[in-house]
Amino acid sequence: MNCRHCSTPLHRQFLDLGAAPPSNSYLTQDTLNQAETFYPLRLFVCDSCRLVQTEDFASADTYFNSDYAYFSSTSSSWLDHAKRYATAMTDRFDLNASSFVIEVASNDGYLLKNFVQAGIPCLGVEPTKSTAEAAEAIGVPTLQEFFGEDLGRKLAAEGKKADLIAGNNVYAHVPDINDFTLGIAQALKPEGVVTLEFPHLMRLVEFRQFDTVYHEHYSYLSLLVVSRIFKAAGLRVFDVEELSTHGGSLRVFGCLEASARNQSDRVDQLLTEEIGRGMDDGDFYSAFQDQANQVKDGLVRFLLDEKAKGTTIAGYGAAAKGNTLLNYAGVRPDLLPYVCDAAPSKIGKFLPGSRIPILSPDVLTEKRPDVIVILPWNIADEVMAQLSDLAEQGTRFVTAVPEIRVR
């Protein structure tokens, strides 16, 4: 395999998580008796541009199909994040009724509904049928397509160039990152702005967040790498913000190369930090396998110990990161009998690979387990607040990344 950005042959392995089914391919009662397709889950780092990337095994429509079960609006903290973003961008870039906003991977309209309410024209681009229809149902105009250079050209030809293009947690998901970035360049107005949010590779390594690795995440990004990809597409990074979302993310602000926008000092400061930590050197990527194994071993050890004590255990959050963790650790219903999730699209289904049943959160009130393992650790505080009644009655909450933590 060659690097998705610069075509350099890939030789340096970053992480090997064995084989797993796509993390969002939830099973139904009818499909439990059918075989699942498992793909190797391995990451490589390019020795030239330093892009960390999954090994290719399946096309994007294998992962992002009509049954895609992730709906952004399920998380109240993510809705709050989106609302704050819309307000901040509107104020910073003076967006109004004569502006135009595009969101790529607009999901169920969780973000763009804020622009609709503010009277700012917008368009969502979302390839998955289930979420695109949910967005349309709440009044968010949505184009059900994959975004890339061809679509960017088409939008430009239709007079739909954007003052703002938003991409929250999509940049890591695109199989052809060069084509996607060229599409952004095509669809921006001369002084338009693109913002992309994605988990920061520096934090992923620092906090051992290997469970954020799954097939649908094609790329694992640093500012260093994004700056190189932008430059190749005629874009440049003019600002960056560090966010707490997803265990540590970046919000990169980009514009066309010829734009008059000045570059913030924060760009050089973060690039200096990344280089100082060795992210432009191969040695930075050599120790992560051992760190992932420590997290996996810690979870299995905890579950086995609690099972031996007769502890009743449940999981919370049928998230993709949980599926990565459970499948790599080999956890099955004998150690984690069920997982609860608030998303109606997941309740009654089964986790891919582990085949652990997904139940309604109401079950927790009925069963009152001794321990709840929160799989999406990035929203642990939100989950514990929702389940505070159980905590008052003695239920312990556990997260496994970067190590077992009992609260």
Residues in contact with 205: Cβ distance below 8 Å, sequence separation at least 6, in sequence order: 284, 285, 288, 291
Which pLDDT value is given to residue 150?
Answer: 98
- Residue-wise pLDDT tens digits, 271-325: 999 999 999 998 899 989 999 999 999 999 999 999 999 999 999 999 999 999 9
Question: Given the structure tokens 């998380």, which residue do they identify?
Answer: 75
pTM: 0.91
Which pLDDT value is given to residue 24?
Answer: 86
- Dist CA 155 CA 15 (whole Å): 38
Q: Where in the chain is the domain with CATH 3.40.50.720?
A: 288-402
- Residue-wise pLDDT tens digits, 83-138: 999 999 999 999 999 999 999 999 999 999 999 999 999 999 999 999 999 999 99
What is 72-285's CATH number? 3.40.50.150
Averaged pLDDT, 76-86: 93
Nearest to 214 by CA among 360, 327, 80, 339: 327
Strands across the sheet containing 313-316:
358-359, 339-340, 313-316, 371-374, 396-399, 405-406
Q: Where in the chain is the domain with CATH 3.40.50.150?
A: 72-285
Q: What architecture (CATH level 2) is domain 288-402?
A: 3-Layer(aba) Sandwich (3.40)
Instruction: Give the model's confidence band at 63: pLDDT under 50 very low, under 70 low, under 90 confident, else very high.
Output: low
Three-class secondary structure of residue 333 per DSSP: coil
Rounded to the nearest integer, the mean pLDDT of the chain is 95
